[in-house]
Amino acid sequence: MTQQVRTRFAPSPTGFVHVGSIRTALFQWLFARQTGGVFVLRIEDTDATREVEGAVQAIMDDLRWLNLLWDEGPDIGGKFGPYIQSQRLEKYKAAAEILLAHGAAYKCYCSKERLEALRAQQVQNKLPPGYDRCCRNLTPEQQAEKEKEGITPVVRFKTPLQGQTVVHDIILGDVTFNNNIVEDLVLMKSDGYPTYHLANIVDDHDMEITHVLRGEEWMSSTPCHIMLHNAMGYEVPQFAHLPMLLGSDHAKLGKRHGSTSIRQFREQGYLPEAMINFLALLGWSLDDKTEVISREDLVTHFSLERVSKTAAIFNYEKLQWMNGVYIRGLSIDELTEKVFPFMEKYLPPEIKRPLDIEYVRQIAPLIRERISTLKDAADYTGFFFLNELSYDAAMFTDKKMTAEVALTALKGAEAKLSALENFSTDLLETTLRHLAEELGIKAGQLFNPLRVATTARDAAPPLFETMAVLGKERCLKRIRAALVKLGGN
């Protein structure tokens, strides 16, 4: 490949960016990085009615969080700027005038009401929806009459009605369209703003984009885009349409399946490295067995030839598993730094803030093997911070454990632990195992009531490590409270 690869991510600022869009951005970024190319960020904000305040900054924040950094864009500029479409309106108007002058486009005066009635009729007659080219062949006199009525027209592309257009797709191969079924798409709206179809053609040309990677739902528009490139005398970029993302029910991924914006996953405590790894495997693979792949290896091995033609299933359980793998790969210091803000935010409100980060650092090793997201840390650690625990006395008993045995176990533990000067993990384990032998009970019959008494949970981080972090005073206080709950002194 002699020409430098240039890809672009061109989101609309209509809200938090969807994971499907981020998957597209990732593939564009990987392809650019793997080939030594350029990754461009462009903001397509020509639909002012749908723009959400702050969305542009949110998009850039999410990309930065994922470390998908761009080489040219709204904030850093570049030789092909501006990179925000609302700042490029004159370019689109000029392109529309060229197409009109060359007879490759026409003005359409159809009202919104007529178009809605046309669509309803097509649906009723089970016909494919689309514009009927009513204004395509208006005479200059007829156009003048429409102008006199004060109608502001849109500009439509005059699609050639004969022949075929072949999309040479890197992933899907050659896809052929009969031109007569391609709609005369709107290029300029009556408000003077371009549609996506015109704006992205002009921008891709001006910004010298060599490869257009996008979701396969755009394939039906691609023949028109190729025709537009040809009509404007532009070089046609190479196209690669990525497989759709589906939910577990094989329907298009949507909110009913769970979280769909990258911001939601970020707020739930997923790591950017895990998100990158997971999204890369949605439609691409290194081989038939490798699941965990570093960013560096993704850049080294990524190729469009290994992108699948079939839709990818967004498996939330697999993402959670993969995030857990990446969490377990963190050092204690890294994990402490990452879970700290989630614990500050999600621990019960009665816990005093700010938390002691050194205390959190002691807790981090105990939960690293147990949490799947950073947010989980708050669910696993509340008892470390509470002054008093709340639980049911029934937690001490089951088919193999009577209240009497639990009471005996806790009384024995209270006596032994009170005598300890060193509350280290090793000494706690040695002391309590010997106590179980002395009491003539199984180790579990001692450890289980101790776990409930000190954590208010029947499943918690390792008992001895947990007790060592809680400390002697807090453990004894909780054991004595449990004795009272069980009817002892």
Q: What SS3 string covers the chain? A: CCCCCEEEECCCCCCCCEHHHHHHHHHHHHHHHHCCCEEEECECCCCHHHCCCCHHHHHHHHHHHCCCCCCEECCCECCCCCCEHHHCHHHHHHHHHHHHHCCCEEEECCCHHHHHHHHHHHHHCCCCCCCCCCCCCCCHHHHHHHHHCCCCCEEEECCCCCCEEEEEECCCEEEEEEHHHCCCCEEECCCCCECHHHHHHHHHHHCCCCEEEEEHHHHHHHHHHHHHHHHHCCCCCEEEEECCEECCCCCECCHHHCCCEHHHHHHCCCCHHHHHHHHHCCCECCCCCCCCCCHHHHHHHCCHHHECCCCEECCHHHHHHHHHHHHHCCCHHHHHHHHHHHHHHHCCCCCCCCCCHHHHHHHHHHHCCCCCCCCHHHHHHHHHCCCCCCCCHHHHCECCECHHHHHHHHHHHHHHHHHCCCCCHHHHHHHHHHHHHHHCCCHHHHHHHHHHHHHCCCCCCCHHHHHHHHCHHHHHHHHHHHHHHCCCC
Give the list of residues 6+ apart from residue 91 with CB closer than 8 angstroms, or none: 202, 206
Catalytic residue IDs = 255
Residue among 368, 403, 363 nearest 486 (CA) = 403
